[in-house]
Amino acid sequence: MANNGPSIKSEPGAPASEAWDEERLEQALDELKLLHVKLRGLRTTIPRMMEPLSVKQPSPQITFQAYMESVAAAKKEVQDFQDLRKSEKIKNIMEHATQRRKEEPNGIKAWPRSKSVTMAGNRVQYRRRNGYNTSSNLTRIVKTPGGELRILHIKKRGTAPKCGDCGVKLPGVPALRPREYSQISKPKKTVQRAYGGSRCGNCVRDRIVRAFLIEEQKIVKKVLKEQSQSEKKK
């Protein structure tokens, strides 16, 4: 029967590599997937190793013991990856791939070392129905602990009421959005004093002092007027 498969061009003097069947190729692919999973797990080895230092413990001895346990676990993960990478199965797979690349340089293309390979960015989607880039739909991309990129919706910042005289934000009054202001109780919208919802404490004090000074000025004018009239009568 005629062989319609791809013809293998081997170099003169080079030993021909053994052809792997589909089952063996699938087993090799599973081994490479396992190696890739262990390699991806090493990205979080150092953060997980430093995690006990960020947790408050009753004593430094407990903190040191937890840290040493995390270091031992990290060393075990690295050692497991090294053992898998240096195993006979992985070595045979790498040797077979190298040999096949030499036999069919056009069939298996390697990435050029001079160029950096950039993977396509992960697709992110809006988590709500509004899909337009408006001021009420501001977002930023965050990475979850699982390594996934998600869109985080940013709410509009609330504005606090300002003093009508000096323009500063009224202390003690929360800065909320208009809808949130309509849902809170009235005592939370103001401060328990005179002009608590429209003027700050300094401006209220200045108003009180100004009112007293005006009244005193009126009294002084009245006294001086009475004195001048009594002198005229004399």
Q: What is the pLDDT along the chain (234 residues), one digit of tens a residue?
A: 344 444 444 444 445 556 778 888 888 888 888 888 888 888 888 888 888 888 888 888 888 888 889 889 889 888 988 898 888 888 888 888 888 878 777 765 655 655 554 555 556 677 888 878 888 888 888 888 988 888 889 988 899 899 999 999 998 899 999 999 999 998 888 888 888 888 999 999 999 999 999 999 999 999 999 999 988 887
Does some domain include residue 138?
A: no
Final residue of a structural domain among 87, 103, 119: 103
Final residue of a structural domain among 72, 103, 134: 103
Question: How many structural domains are present in the chain?
Answer: 2
Does some domain include residue 123?
A: no
Does some domain include residue 214?
A: yes
Residue 222's domain comprises 178-233
Does some domain include residue 200?
A: yes
Does some domain include residue 17?
A: no
The b/e string for 65-85 (b: 16+ C-beta within 10 A; e otherwise) is eebeebeeebeebeeebeeee
pTM: 0.39
Comparing C-alpha atoms, which of 206, 173, 174 is closest to residue 192? 173
Q: How far is CA 122 from CA 129, 150, 173, 202, in A?
A: 20, 10, 43, 54
Does some domain include residue 88?
A: yes
Final residue of a structural domain among 103, 135, 154: 103
Residue 212 pLDDT: 96
